[in-house]
């Protein structure tokens, strides 16, 4: 089974995912990176030149392709939950873990970064709150959730690795 990480922008998916993959000796992949590679463009430019709908279509195609994997750690963009087909595909051979942080903590993490088109607005904190509320139900359907708010990426990774239920589901026991 794959270990799939999702959560709002700035929740630490990519950093946490890389640490977990390394500790488990598993392949790591990141849907945002694959989208940029496939499109030959940065996410900001995809949104600007082709629009969000085109980005979401590409994201769903990439999700379909990463679902072909069977024992990878997959970090998915925060909007992947918006399409229930993505979740259905990822669930077929993956455990979906939601990383949560409060709007204020997310804002602190992302405020100096410029690569997130959805948060390039006059009041990013308010937009974070709005989007989190809009996605609340979709995120709540994930198999597991972890509050990463006060944690470093290493601590968040440790918490996930210490969860025996998740480790068992992805076929990782203390001896393998």
Least Å distance, CB 95 to ligand S3P, is 19
Least Å distance, CB 2 to ligand S3P, is 17
Least Å distance, CB 70 to ligand S3P, is 23
Six-digit token pair at 5?
């990480």
Q: Which is nearer to ligand S3P, 28 or 167 (CB)?
A: 28
Interatomic CA distance for residues 21 and 112, integer angstroms: 27
Closest CA to 9 of 92, 82, 66: 82
Closest CA to 8 of 114, 146, 120: 146
Q: Which is nearer to ligand S3P, 38 or 164 (CB)?
A: 38
Least Å distance, CB 153 to ligand S3P, is 13
CB 171 within 8 A of CB 1: yes
Q: Which is nearer to ligand S3P, 117 or 149 (CB)?
A: 117
Closest CA to 9 of 154, 113, 137, 151: 113
Interatomic CA distance for residues 130 and 148, integer angstroms: 20
Using CA atoms, how far residue 27 sits from 2, 69, 150, in Å, is: 10, 9, 27
Binding site for ligand S3P (CB under 6 A): 9, 13, 32, 43, 77-79, 116-118
Least Å distance, CB 39 to ligand S3P, is 12
Q: Which is nearer to ligand S3P, 105 or 167 (CB)?
A: 105
Q: Which is nearer to ligand S3P, 78 or 172 (CB)?
A: 78
């Amino acid at each position: 089974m794959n270990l799939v990480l999702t959560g709002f922008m700035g929740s630490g998916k990519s950093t946490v995912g890389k640490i977990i993959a390394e500790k488990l000796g598993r392949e790591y992949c990141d849907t945002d990176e694959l989208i940029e590679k496939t499109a030959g463009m940065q996410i900001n430019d995809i949104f600007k030149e082709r629009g969000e709908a085109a980005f979401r279509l590409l994201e769903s195609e990439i999700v379909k392709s990463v679902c072909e994997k069977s024992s990878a750690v997959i970090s998915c963009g925060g909007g992947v939950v918006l399409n229930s087909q993505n979740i259905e595909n990822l669930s077929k051979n993956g455990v979906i873990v939601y990383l949560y942080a409060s709007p204020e903590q997310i804002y602190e993490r992302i405020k100096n970064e410029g690569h997130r088109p959805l948060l390039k607005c006059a009041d990013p904190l308010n937009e974070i709150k709005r989007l989190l509320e809009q996605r609340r139900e979709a995120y709540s359907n994930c198999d597991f959730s972890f509050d990463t708010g006060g944690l470093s990426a290493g601590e968040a990774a440790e918490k996930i690795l210490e969860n025996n239920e998740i480790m068992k589901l992805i076929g990782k026991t203390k001896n393998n």
